[in-house]
């Protein structure tokens, strides 16, 4: 450990890597390179097209917020207590900020700040940050897409969001996902349920894992999140939420379920699905990809959070939404062999052995004509540039050499089939290639 000077008078203690060439992306983060980056963007584009066709408008909110925004999502929630990247800035007095671990809280904060007309149906995309123990499908920076509807208590708003997620999975070819559905009750019926669950886990506390005993003291519902083997039989025999719902919550849940049936959306009733955040009320749901390991097979989830907006000082406003994990969805697509990375081959590679601006002018013309054009630089040898042309996946190479320059033509060489080549007069090259790629 070496000390690095931070703000004047405040040494910033951090680990310093021996050599600058040893620097790597931080633990739990990744560089996503082409063509995977294009695949991720394409996935987000498909999501945007689907939710925008349903009238949801995009919200782009800050990647960091006042830490108080996230404390609202639940003081006994791991993502707030253990996993937040929180820091102070250089203001005097310093502001307490945190990289966002999720987006629902930011959307609720934005709703109170801007007072849009309700119902407010929005979507978002972007990275989230959680200080988790990294493993396959679990990162410290990961990408989510999601929707929220604020200002509607209608069970059909719950169904609208669920159906959109389902449409999206179908659209990208991920047709084997399972939808798990539960109701968490509300402030009327949940306290009695909490008592029943607390009683059950307390009765079996000796058999619970140590971590779950600690969790039980803070919030008995969080014990359901445990995947530790000793906890499983005790979780399996715990009282079920749906048996404790009050009449209103039961009616809401019945409406959700019958609409899903009517829309032919398959789901599994999951009485132990409590989800990791404290703000949920009534409907909760999760999408599971069977092709992934159980530790990271949840590819998205959401639910209703009536009451959250009030915690931000807003008027009573019901809300419902979901977030999907893009990184995991892509892993699930790999496992199901669907939604392949797009072909990132070039159409044309320009081999420039003379230098000068000719190749740049031709690249510009061909790109303007809609072709994907890449080119050689540095007047490398013909052989070296032809190697690059092959590697680029281009269908044709265009060669600009001394001879070509003096003839006012270029050589077009086909790279994929036979290596047929012919001269094309310079003025005809754009129309020639447009014809070829039509």
Which residues sit at the interface with ligand AMP, rule CB under 6 A? 102, 130, 132, 137-139, 142, 144, 276, 298-301, 323, 325, 327-328
Instruction: Answer whether the bond into residue 75 is a cis peptide, omega within 30°.
Output: no
Q: Shortest CA distance to 249 belongs to which of 317, 148, 179, 158?
A: 158
Q: Could you give the CA distance from residue 382 to residue 390 in angstroms, rounded to a whole number? A: 12
Measured from the CB of residue 127, what is the shortest distance to ligand AMP in angstroms?
A: 10
Whichever of 158 and 404 has its CB closer to ligand AMP, that residue is 158
Contact by Cβ (8 Å): 253, 156: no
Measured from the CB of residue 137, what is the shortest distance to ligand AMP in angstroms?
A: 6
Whichever of 253 and 279 has its CB closer to ligand AMP, that residue is 279
Measured from the CB of residue 81, what is the shortest distance to ligand AMP in angstroms?
A: 14
Whichever of 279 and 349 has its CB closer to ligand AMP, that residue is 279
Whichever of 137 and 151 has its CB closer to ligand AMP, that residue is 137
Q: Could you give the CA distance from residue 274 to residue 183 in angstroms, rounded to a whole number? A: 8
Instruction: Answer whether the bond into residue 222 is a cis peptide, omega within 30°.
Output: no
Whichever of 130 and 222 has its CB closer to ligand AMP, that residue is 130
Q: Could you give the CA distance from residue 303 to residue 285 in angstroms, rounded to a whole number? A: 6
Whichever of 102 and 347 has its CB closer to ligand AMP, that residue is 102
Measured from the CB of residue 225, what is the shortest distance to ligand AMP in angstroms?
A: 10
Measured from the CB of residue 85, what is the shortest distance to ligand AMP in angstroms?
A: 12
Q: Shortest CA distance to 128 belongs to which of 48, 77, 62, 66?
A: 62
Q: Could you give the CA distance from residue 351 to residue 353 in angstroms, rounded to a whole number? A: 6
Measured from the CB of residue 83, what is the shortest distance to ligand AMP in angstroms?
A: 8
Could you give the C-alpha distances from 235 to 30, 46, 204, 241, in angstroms and in order? 35, 38, 10, 12
């Amino acid at each position: 450990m070496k000390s690095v000077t931070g703000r004047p008078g405040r040494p910033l203690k951090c680990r310093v890597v021996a050599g600058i060439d040893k620097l790597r992306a931080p633990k739990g983060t990744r560089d996503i390179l082409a063509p995977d980056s294009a695949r991720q963007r394409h996935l987000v584009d498909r999501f945007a097209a689907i939710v925008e066709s349903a009238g949801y408008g995009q919200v782009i909110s800050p990647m960091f917020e006042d830490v108080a925004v996230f404390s609202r999502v639940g003081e006994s929630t791991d993502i707030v207590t253990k996993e937040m990247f929180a820091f102070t800035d250089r203001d005097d007095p310093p502001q307490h900020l945190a990289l966002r671990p999720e987006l629902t809280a930011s959307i609720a904060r934005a709703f109170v700040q801007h007072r849009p007309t309700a119902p407010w149906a929005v979507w978002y995309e972007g990275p989230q940050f959680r200080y988790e123990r990294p493993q396959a499908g679990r990162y410290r920076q990961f990408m989510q897409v999601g929707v929220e509807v604020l200002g509607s208590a209608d069970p059909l708003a719950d169904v609208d969001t669920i159906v959109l997620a389902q449409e999206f999975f179908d659209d990208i070819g991920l047709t084997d996902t399972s939808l798990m559905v539960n109701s968490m009750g509300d402030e009327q019926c949940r306290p009695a349920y909490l008592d029943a669950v607390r009683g059950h886990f307390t009765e079996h506390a000796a058999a619970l894992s140590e971590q779950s005993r600690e969790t039980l003291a803070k919030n008995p519902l969080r014990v359901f999140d445990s995947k530790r083997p000793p906890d499983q039989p005790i979780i399996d025999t715990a009282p079920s939420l749906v048996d404790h719902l009050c009449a209103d919550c039961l009616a809401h849940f019945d409406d959700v379920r019958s609409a899903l049936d009517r829309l032919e959306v398959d789901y599994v009733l999951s009485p132990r699905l409590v989800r990791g955040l404290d703000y949920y009320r009534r409907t909760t749901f999760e999408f599971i990809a069977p092709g992934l390991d159980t530790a990271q097979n949840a590819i998205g989830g959401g639910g209703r959070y009536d009451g959250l907006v009030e915690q931000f000082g807003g008027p009573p406003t019901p809300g419902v939404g979901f977030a999907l994990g893009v990184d995991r969805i892509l892993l699930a697509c790999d496992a199901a062999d669907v939604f392949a990375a797009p072909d990132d081959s070039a159409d044309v590679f320009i081999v420039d052995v003379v230098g000068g601006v000719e190749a740049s002018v031709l690249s510009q013309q061909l790109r303007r004509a809609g072709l994907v054009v890449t080119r050689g630089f540095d007047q490398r040898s013909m052989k070296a540039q032809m190697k690059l042309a092959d590697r680029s996946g281009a269908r044709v190479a265009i060669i600009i050499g001394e001879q070509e320059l003096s003839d006012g033509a270029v050589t077009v060489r086909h790279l994929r089939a036979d290596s047929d080549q012919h001269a094309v007069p310079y003025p005809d090259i754009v129309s020639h290639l447009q014809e070829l790629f039509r």
